[in-house]
C-alpha cells in the first residue's frame, strides 16, 4: 500500500490534485471553525456538515499525498456522495439550510469545484491503478 504502487497517487497530475485538496481542506476547516465558534446555534445542520466536509478534505489530502489509495478512494467517494446529497437536498429543502455549506447547491459558491473535484479524484485514482509503471514514470 505504501510502496511504489501506492505512493504514485501524489505525483504527476496527483501533485496538483493534492494541492487543490489542501486548499479545500484549509478553506473548509476555516469556514466551519468560524461558523461553529461564532454562530453555532444559527444553523446547526449546515455548520455540522461544513465540519464533516472539512474532515473529509483533510483525510483525502493526507491519503492522496501519502499514497494511501484505499483511504483516498473511500474519502473521495464520501466527498462525491456528500456533495451530491447536500447539493440535492439544499435545492429541495432550502429551509433546512439557513446558511451555506461548501457543498450547498452542488458547490456553486466555489465555482462548482467541489462537485468536479471528487469526480476528477476518482478518475485519477481508478485510472492510476490500471496504468503500467512505465507510463506513470514518464508523467
Task: Please count the residues of the chain.
Answer: 139
Q: Is 11 in the site for another protein (CB under 8 A)?
A: yes
Size of the site for another protein (CB under 8 A): 21
**What are residue 99's phi and psi, to 5 degrees?**
-135, 160
Rank residues 81 and 131 by Cβ distance to another protein and give the closer one: 131
d(CA 86, CA 80): 10
> Which listed residue (2, 5, 30, 133) binds another protein by CB under 8 A?
30
26 lines the binding site for another protein (CB under 8 A): yes
Q: Does 23 bind another protein (CB under 8 A)?
A: yes
Sign of CA dihedral 45, 48, 50, 55: negative
Q: Using the structure block, give the residue that is written with the C-alpha cell 440535492.
A: 88
Instruction: Decide: is 68 part of the binding site for another protein (CB under 8 A).
Output: no
Q: Answer yes or no: are the C-beta atoms of 128 and 8 closer than 8 Å.
A: yes
Which set of grid coordinates corresponds to residue 22? Answer: 489542501
Closest approach, Cβ 22 to another protein, in A, equals: 7
Residues that bind another protein (CB under 8 A): 11-16, 18-20, 22-23, 26-27, 30-31, 34, 37-38, 100, 111, 139
Amino acid at each position: 500500500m505504501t510502496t511504489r504502487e501506492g505512493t504514485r497517487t501524489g505525483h504527476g497530475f496527483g501533485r496538483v490534485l493534492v494541492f487543490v485538496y489542501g486548499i479545500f481542506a484549509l478553506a473548509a476547516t476555516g469556514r466551519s471553525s468560524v461558523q461553529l465558534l461564532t454562530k453555532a446555534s444559527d444553523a446547526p445542520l449546515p455548520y455540522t456538515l461544513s465540519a464533516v466536509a472539512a474532515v473529509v478534505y483533510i483525510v483525502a489530502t493526507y491519503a492522496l499525498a501519502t499514497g494511501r489509495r484505499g483511504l483516498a478512494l473511500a474519502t473521495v467517494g464520501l466527498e462525491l456522495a456528500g456533495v451530491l446529497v447536500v447539493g440535492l437536498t439544499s435545492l429541495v429543502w432550502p429551509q433546512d439550510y439557513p446558511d451555506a455549506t461548501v457543498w450547498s447547491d452542488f458547490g456553486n459558491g466555489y465555482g462548482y469545484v467541489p462537485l468536479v473535484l471528487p469526480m476528477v479524484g476518482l478518475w485519477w485514482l481508478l485510472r492510476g491503478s490500471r496504468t503500467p509503471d512505465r507510463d506513470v514514470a514518464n508523467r
